[in-house]
Amino acid sequence: SLNSIAMKLIIHAGNARNLANEAFDLAKDRKFEDSVNKMKESNSEIVQAHNAQTEVIQAEAGGEEYEYSPLFAHAQDTLMTVSTEINMIYKFIEILKIMFKECN
């Protein structure tokens, strides 16, 4: 059902957010290799969330009809927000690398 897909999307996006925040904390502690690995995990989760959304979009494009679902709309908002956060965290980690390099 659309609600179960929405929940899958929210769970994976939430996992991605948590992993990206962990990666940022590791980068602040100059643990860049660990940080990169956490970001890879985060990316894997956000891809799973995106794939869940894509299932619905492709089904609709194929003629399946869904009633409006506030939960699915929330899930899409969450995916978009977390994707933006992840992109920003990637950039912040790069800035931290430069800052720590210049401070040594």
Active site residue 50: no
For the segment 66-101, what is each residue's pLDDT rounded down to a tens digit?
Answer: 999 999 999 999 999 999 999 999 999 999 999 998
What one-character DSSP code corresponds to residue 72? Answer: H
Exactly one of 74, 80, 87, 100 is catalytic; name it: 74
Binding residues for Mg(2+): 77
Q: What's the average model confidence in pLDDT over 44-73? A: 96
In angstroms, how far apart are the furthest CA atoms of the chain? 59
Tell me what percent of the residues of the chain surpass a pLDDT of 70. Answer: 100
Q: Are 38 and 90 in contact (CB under 8 A)?
A: no
Q: Where are the domains of the chain?
A: 2-103
Q: What is the mean pLDDT of residues 42-54?
A: 97
- pLDDT, average across residues 6-22: 98
pLDDT value for 102: 84
* Alpha carbon 16 to its chain's center: 4
The predicted pLDDT at position 103 comes to 82
Lookup: tokens for 55 = 């299932």
| Integer Cα distance of 49 and 69 in angstroms | 17
The dihedral region occupied by 30, where left means phi > 0, alpha psi between -120 and 50, and beta the remainder, is left
- pLDDT average, residue stretch 31-52: 97
Task: Give the tokens for residue 38.
Answer: 């956490």
- How much is the pLDDT for 101? 86
Point out the annotated binding site.
77
Confidence (pLDDT) at 36: 97
Asked if CATH classification 3.40.50.1100 holds for the domain at 2-103, the reply, yes or no, is no
The mean pLDDT of 53-68, rounded to a whole number, is 95
